[in-house]
Amino acid sequence: MSRQDQMARAGRYVLGQMEGRERDDFEVAMQADAELASRVDRLAQSMQALDDTVTPGAIPPGMWKAIEARTAGMAQLGPVRAGTVVSLEAARARRRWLPAALAASLVLALGVGYLAGTRLGAPREPVAVAVLLNETDSMPGAIVQAYADDSVTLRPLRAFAVPEGKILQVWTLPDRETGPVSLGTLPRQATTRLQGPDLPLPHEGQLYEITLEPSPGSPTGKPTGPILVKGYARFSPS
Amino acid sequence: MCMKGMTAHAMPQEPMLDQTPDGWMLAMARGDRAAFAALFEAEAGRLIAIARRIVRRQDLAEEAVQEGFVSAWQSAARFDPQRGSARAWLTTIVRNRALNLIRNDARLEFHDAEDVAAIGDRAADAMAALNQLSDRDALKSCLGALDEPKRQAILLCYVTGLDHGEVAATMKAPLGTVKSWIRRGVVALQECLS
Res B140: pLDDT: 96
Q: Which band of pLDDT confidence, cut at 50, 70 and 90, is reported for residue B72?
A: very high
* Closest Cα in chain B to A37: B83
Quick: pLDDT tens for B154-165: 999 999 999 888
Residues A63 and A97 in one domain: no
Residues A165 and A57 in one domain: no
Q: Is the peptide bond before A79 cis (omega within 30 degrees of 0)?
A: no
Residues A136 and A216 in one domain: yes
More confident site: A217 or B148: B148
CATH class of B114-194: mainly alpha
CATH architecture, domain B17-113:
Orthogonal Bundle (1.10)
Res A74: pLDDT: 83
Last residue of a domain, one of A43, A71, A99: A71
Res B153: pLDDT: 96
A198 in B contact zone (CB under 8 Å): no
Quick: pLDDT tens for B166-189: 899 889 999 999 999 999 999 999
Q: Is B190 in contact with A39 (Cβ distance < 8 A)? A: yes
What domain count does chain A have?
A: 2
Residues A94 and A31 in one domain: no
What number is the average pLDDT over the span B132-145?
94
Res A210: pLDDT: 93
Low-confidence stretches of chain A (pLDDT beneath 70): 79-124, 236-238
Q: Work out the minimum CA distance from B11 to partner chain A, whole angstroms.
A: 26
More confident site: A150 or B85: B85
Res A171: pLDDT: 93
For B164, the closest of A17, A43, A176 (CB atoms) is A17
Q: Work out the minimum CA distance from B170 to partner chain A, whole angstroms.
A: 16
What number is the average pLDDT over the span B51-58?
90
Parent domain of A105: 88-235
The rounded distance, in Å, linking the Cα atoms of A179 and A149 is 20
Q: Is the pLDDT of residue B31 over 60?
A: yes
The rounded distance, in Å, linking the Cα atoms of A59 and B48 is 8
For B84, the closest of A17, A45, A60 (CB atoms) is A45
Residue A76 lies in a domain: no
Could you count the other beta carbons within 10 Å of the beta carbon of residue B79?
Answer: 22
Residue A64 lies in a domain: yes
* Closest Cα in chain B to A7: B187
Which CA distances in Å does A206 have to A81, A97, A212, B144?
22, 28, 20, 40
Quick: pLDDT tens for B105-121: 444 444 444 555 566 67
Of A178, A191, A187, A180, the closest CA to residue A217 belongs to: A187
Res A66: pLDDT: 95
Q: Is B50 in contact with A51 (Cβ distance < 8 A)? A: yes
For A11, residues 6+ apart whose C-beta sits below 8 A from its C-beta are A43, B182, B183, B185, B186, B187, B189, B190
Residues A118 and A224 in one domain: yes
Residues A96 and A51 in one domain: no
The rounded distance, in Å, linking the Cα atoms of A16 and B95 is 9
Taking the domains of chain B in order of start, what are their residue ranges?
A: 17-113, 114-194
Which CA distances in Å does B175 have to A63, B118, B125, B164, B187?
40, 21, 22, 7, 19
In chain B, residues with a C-beta closer than 8 Å to the C-beta of A14 are 158, 186
In chain A, residues with a C-beta closer than 8 Å to the C-beta of B194 are 42
Q: Work out the minimum CA distance from A211 to partner chain B, whole angstroms.
A: 22
Residues 166-185 of A with CB under 8 A from B: 175-179
Backbone angles phi, psi at A172, to 5 degrees: -135, 160
* Closest Cα in chain B to A81: B78
In chain B, residues with a C-beta closer than 8 Å to the C-beta of A64 are 37, 40-41, 44
Residue A196 lies in a domain: yes
